[in-house]
Amino acid sequence: MQPLDRPFTMGQLLTLQTDIVTVLIYGKRYDIPVSVSEHQLLTTIAQDEIVLLPVNFERTRLLLDIPELSPHLERELNDFADSDESVTDLLKEGV
């Protein structure tokens, strides 16, 4: 995986169709096209209660190849969770 050269944001998965995923970003809905492999992955994880997905800043595509240890990813998740405790720490605790 290569480091991201552009900013991104997090979107909450709302609905998944064959070729489109609808995400919620700051109260607005965005329909983003997905590939067959992305659809398969999203079908598996869509079972969870809340699913956050990295989306490019233009809200036109998913960024599923972000390294788990990306500082920008942790910042975005912490902003979304609005928590004093790091999301990475929460995830390690299984919350």
Name the pTM for this structure. 0.61
Output the six-digit token pair for 42.
Answer: 């999203």
Domain count, the chain: 1
Average pLDDT of every residue of the chain: 76
Is 58 contained in some domain? Answer: yes
pLDDT reported for residue 52: 83
For the domain that residue 22 is a member of, what is the CATH number?
2.30.30
pLDDT reported for residue 31: 96
44-88 tens-digit pLDDT: 888 877 888 888 888 888 887 776 667 777 777 776 666 555 544
Is 33 contained in some domain? Answer: yes
Residue among 43, 48, 45, 57 nearest 4 (CA): 57
Residues 12, 46: Cα–Cα separation, whole Å: 11
Is 87 contained in some domain? Answer: no
Provide the residue range defining the domain that includes 37: 8-82
Tracing tokens 């995400």 back to the chain, one arrives at 23
Is 3's pLDDT higher than 50?
no
